[in-house]
Amino acid sequence: MERTLIIVKPDGIQRGLTGEVISRFERRGFRIVGMKFMQIDRALAEQHYFEHKGKGFFEGLVSYITSGPVVVMVLEGNNAIDISRNTIGKTNPKDAAPGTIRGDLALEIGRNIVHGSANEADAEREINLYFTPAELIDWSRDTDRWIFE
């Protein structure tokens, strides 16, 4: 099973969309193995967005993700990264397909509701930034046999 990090960003929290976002992933079949409601501080935000350091939009990313509380979660499932990114939709909501989180719920690239890890390396790095191994729960659902082959 693959794992990915998902963040419901401050705009999602402020707009009361946390349950909607979580529900979409659960309905898709993902298993939540870790979840936190937290305030990201500047140091953690800079680590999270380190690959953008030096770019013109870096400060805006850091300022925004630290502007309010977020929900951070680890999802597990077959092809979790690719499938969760398809569920989220393209980064710019104007390009996101209807039926995706961003396509249905967002209008602006800087207020696009949710973050999802881009690839396996990012997922591993990001999960380790937000969770210790003890905070991730290995478990199974009775319905897993109807979701996973």
pLDDT of amino acid 48: 96
Residue 95 structural domain:
2-147
- CATH number for the domain that contains residue 133: 3.30.70.141
Long-range contacts of 103-112 (CB under 8 A, 24+ apart): 105/12, 105/15, 105/17, 105/20, 106/11, 110/60, 110/64, 111/9, 111/11, 112/9, 112/11
What is the DSSP-derived secondary structure letter of residue 111? B
Q: How many residues does the chain have?
A: 149
Number of domains in the chain: 1
pLDDT of amino acid 101: 98
Considering only CA atoms, which of 45, 22, 5, 18 is closest in space to residue 126?
5
**Catalytic pick among 6, 77, 115, 131:** 115
Q: Indicate if 115 belongs to the active site.
A: yes
| Partners of 5 in beta bridges | 74
Considering only CA atoms, which of 133, 11, 126 is closest in space to residue 64?
11
Condensed to tens digits (0 to 9), the pLDDT of residues 25-68 reads 999 999 999 999 999 999 999 999 999 999 989 999 999 999 99
pLDDT of amino acid 119: 97
Which pLDDT tens digits describe the chain residue by residue (149 residues)?
A: 999 999 999 999 999 999 999 999 999 999 999 999 999 999 999 999 999 999 989 999 999 999 999 999 999 999 999 999 999 999 999 999 999 999 999 999 999 999 999 999 999 999 999 999 999 999 999 999 999 98
Long-range contacts of 105-109 (CB under 8 A, 24+ apart): 105/12, 105/15, 105/17, 105/20, 106/11
Phi, psi of 108, deg, nearest 5:
-120, 145
